[in-house]
Amino acid sequence: MIITIIIKSILAVIFLGGILNLAGLLTWVERKQSAVMQDRIGANRAWIEFKSKWLAPVNWILRPLNVLGLFHSLADAVKMFLKEDFVPEGADKFLHTLAPMISVVFALLAFASIPFGDTLHIGNRVINLQIADINTGLLFVFAMMSLGVYGVILAGFSSNNKFAHLGGMRAASQMLSYEITMGLSIMGIVLCYGTLNLQEMVRHQSHLWGFVVQPVAFILFMTAALAETKRVPFDLPEGESEIIGYFVEYSGMKFGMFFLTDLVETVLVACLMTTFFFGGWQVPFLSPDGFHFPWGIFALSHGVVITLGVISFMLKVAFFNWLFMAIRWTLPRFRYDQLMHLGWKILFPASLVNVLVTSVIVVMRS
């Protein structure tokens, strides 16, 4: 029992550490990717260099990192911690402090049921590479994502600022609208695989990945999930420069937490897309005993297969993060009525039709 807990804790530390680091790295990716996309160079002035002669080898190692501007994430973090933590007059201090925490905690909790690798066998011990092996993992993820909305709404309501209040309202209606589409579009996948367990879902995709089975659900889910992350083109709750969002009254690390939530949610959505539609840790042609190419079998040991699976999961997540960043830097923001129109009049009926068609096909086949 104790050993199981220790193993799970190690898994949690590794996975969440990876997620948080990836989220921190995404600030850099966002800066650099947008820069390269727009024919710019991007932030590269956070420069760490030692003056003393005997530290020259360290400088030599630091130089490429300096040139790439990787220390800007570090500089950001330092700035956030050193800034004044401001609570506006008349604000509900308790809720004002609680809101960013709710936001970030639920975003991170949702990762608990995402499988990032196949079942690992060490001796007699069976380790499922998933923090919490929940039978209804899908429901858990959706519950956590829905609870995350509270952070945003509370931030808007407790700030004693009308702009923040309006931003919170926009966030609430947008996220609730798109959650419906998200839930319904994923029903197609659930109908096809007949399970709510995410690990089982990934196992079902060993031959055919989800986006081939459910292409419509793939597009619908991606759109709705992008809306859930509250990033451009769906960044009406925030709209930093123009329409002012729910976190105007936040500063320092509390603002940092909202910022982190955004990036963590991007990673979360990338993980979900991978799990539902791109076969999670599945590698093409890879079976538990090695590669089964049409022209022959290439045997691999158990450890290598599992490692390949984890690497494949990470690569897919990285790809989706890249794609979301590309979308974020390509499309302009929706107008609010366009957003609601898209959510309720296009995506919602389309997801209903998708569920209907899928159910008919599933019933006909069984």
Partner 1 sequence: MINTKVIKRQELNFWDKTYLPSVALGLWITSKHFFKNLFIHTLHSVGLFKNLSGAVTFQYPEEQRPLSKRSRTRHRLTQREDGTPRCVACMMCETVCPARCINIVAMEHPDPNIEKVPASFDLDLGMCVYCGFCVEVCPEDAIRMDTQILDIAAYSRAEMQLDMKELLNPRSSLLYKK
**Which positions lie near partner 1, rule CB under 8 A?**
33, 35-41, 219, 326-327, 329-331, 342, 346
Beta carbons of 28 and 69 less than 8 angstroms apart: yes
Q: In what order do the strands lie in the sheet with 286-287?
A: 286-287, 290-293, 296-299
Measured from the CB atom, is 184 or 306 closer to partner 1? 184
Q: Is the peptide bond before 215 cis (omega within 30 degrees of 0)?
A: no
Q: Report CA-CA distances (Å) from 324 to 32, 221, 330, 335.
A: 14, 13, 10, 20
Token pair listed for 93: 């201090």
Least separation, in Å, of the C-beta of 44 and partner 1? 8
CA-only gyration radius of the chain, Å: 22
Least separation, in Å, of the C-beta of 134 and partner 1? 34
Measured from the CB atom, is 301 or 330 closer to partner 1? 330
Measured from the CB atom, is 29 or 112 closer to partner 1? 29
Least separation, in Å, of the C-beta of 342 and partner 1? 8
Measured from the CB atom, is 41 or 364 closer to partner 1? 41
Q: Parallel, antiparallel, or unpaired for β 119-122 and 125-128?
A: antiparallel
Asked whether the CA dihedral 311, 292, 114, 143 is positive or negative, the reply is positive
Least separation, in Å, of the C-beta of 187 and partner 1? 21
State how far the Cα of 227 lies from the Cα of 165, in Å rounded to an integer: 19
Measured from the CB atom, is 41 or 61 closer to partner 1? 41
State how far the Cα of 361 lies from the Cα of 355, in Å rounded to an integer: 10
State how far the Cα of 280 lies from the Cα of 302, in Å rounded to an integer: 18
Residues listed for the chain: 366
Measured from the CB atom, is 68 or 74 closer to partner 1? 68
State how far the Cα of 219 lies from the Cα of 277, in Å rounded to an integer: 10
End-to-end CA distance of the chain: 41
Least separation, in Å, of the C-beta of 22 and partner 1? 20
Least separation, in Å, of the C-beta of 283 and partner 1? 24
Measured from the CB atom, is 44 or 195 closer to partner 1? 44
Least separation, in Å, of the C-beta of 41 and partner 1? 5
